[in-house]
Structure 1
Amino acid sequence: MNENDDKLGEEAEEIRRETAEGAPEVAEHDRVAELEAALEEANSKALYAAAEIQNVRRRLETEKQQAANYATTQFARDMLAIKDHLERALDAVSKELRDDKVASSFLAGMESTARELEAVFTRHGITRIAALGEQLDPHRHQAMMEIPDGDAEPGTIVQEMQPGYMLKDRLLRPALVGVARKPD
């Protein structure tokens, strides 16, 4: 409570004492009722303000937690491009190069780098979105084309052009996919 609430409470108590001493007057009774109503209103406003402060604190704490959890979003997106290039480079290596002693040492280093990058992603909550064989989910997949397929149910993902990723529970990048449709 603040000073005004204390004053109002003291005035109300003083009027009650005077009234109890044997000099009840109608005006004083009205004044007591008026002061009690003002005190009740002040108490109500104080409770409302305290509740509002608590709500603001909760909101700020939630926003602070989300900012900490997702502060690395742009950096993670940039790292995905590096991961994509590294995977494409490893996929492009021919069987003959893998048999070469010098090239195989170089490839072992690249594969080790790819594994370490995957481990870092996992540590920071970056996970790959499952795509092949799944039903198209527009919140996680981006259909790039329809592919006629008699074996797969329409709407099923039959080709993945680029993997998608999640950062904890948020979409970092949708998977670019080809979706089955009934053949003509």
Structure 2
Amino acid sequence: MTNTENDTRADDALTPENVAAEADATTPTAGENDELAKLAEQLAALQQDLLYARAETQNVRRRGEKEVADAHAYAATKFARDILSVADNLGRALAALSAEQRADEGIKPLVTGLEATERELLSVFERNGITRIAAIGLPLDPNQHQAMLEIPSDQTPGTIVQEMQAGYMMKDRLLRPAMVAVAKAG
């Protein structure tokens, strides 16, 4: 191409008619506007779906982490429930001994051994976050106590007056409710 041809082409490109023609060619028509609007809606919907998917993924991850933490914290729950009957039987054995039997020199080493075993068992419970539920003298709490019977009493109705079986918690979870008798109006 020669310089003259280049000048002619440059002059053609800058004429107002050529500029208007190019503007008309790039201006979207009504059909193209509809298509652009649809694409914009689809893009917005996809962005919203992406946000929901990210939030759901984060919730699933958090839930999984919580389940793993709970599994570690409460892994021994079944074992703890099973061992509670051993603690109950040991307590019953000690409660069944009279003062005379405890004073008997032949049985005294057995009593001392039973008491030491009970102390050790309670120490193990404490180290593992297992605590006994307080009951006597407190109002009935259905989340921690199971009322087995009502006894006429001068105490406020609904107050626990007798504990038939101790209840236990493991950290913040109920292992076993305390089985109790509550006062009823005389």
TM-score between the two structures when normalised by the length of structure 2: 0.77
Q: Does 1:173 align with 2:176?
A: yes
Residues 146, 37 of structure 1: CA spacing in aligned structure 2 closer, same or farther, 3 A cutoff? closer
Question: In structure 2, the residue corresponding to 1:158 is in which secondary structure?
Answer: strand
Partner of 1:4: none
1:80 Cα offset (Å): 0.6
Q: 2:165 aligns with which of 162, 166, 175?
A: 162
1:30 Cα offset (Å): 4.7
Q: Does 1:48 align with 2:26?
A: no
Write the deviation string for residues 76-96 of structure 1: whole angstroms up to 9, x where unpaired: 111110000001111112223
Q: Does 1:146 align with 2:150?
A: yes
Question: In structure 2, the residue corresponding to 1:139 is in which secondary structure?
Answer: coil
Partner of 2:78: 74
Aligned residue identity for 1:122: E
Instruction: Give the % identical residues.
Output: 54
Residues 53, 97 of structure 1: CA spacing in aligned structure 2 closer, same or farther, 3 A cutoff? same
Partner of 1:128: 132
Matches of residues 91-130 of structure 1 in structure 2 within 5 Å?
91-130=95-134
Partner of 1:5: none
Question: In structure 2, the residue corresponding to 1:101 is in which secondary structure?
Answer: coil
1:149 Cα offset (Å): 1.7
Q: Which moved more, 1:98-107 or 1:78-87?
A: 98-107
Partner of 1:11: none
Partner of 2:67: 63
Question: Where does the alignment leave 5 or more consecutive residues of structure 2 unmatched?
Answer: 1-21
Aligned residue identity for 1:51: A
1:35 Cα offset (Å): 3.5
Instruction: Find the aligned partners of 2:178 and 2:90 in 1 and give their Cα distance.
Output: 18
Residue correspondences, number: 164
Aligned residue identity for 2:62: R
Write the deviation string for residues 19-73 of structure 1: whole angstroms up to 9, x where unpaired: 8896324155554444443333322222221111111111222222222222222
Partner of 2:91: 87
Instruction: Find the aligned partners of 1:20 and 1:103 in 2 and give their Cα distance.
Output: 111
Q: Which moved more, 1:38-47 or 1:72-81?
A: 38-47
Aligned residue identity for 2:176: R
Question: Where does the alignment leave 5 or more consecutive residues of structure 1 unmatched?
Answer: 1-18
| Structure number with larger C-alpha Rg | 2
Partner of 2:17: none
CA RMSD of aligned residues (A): 2.2
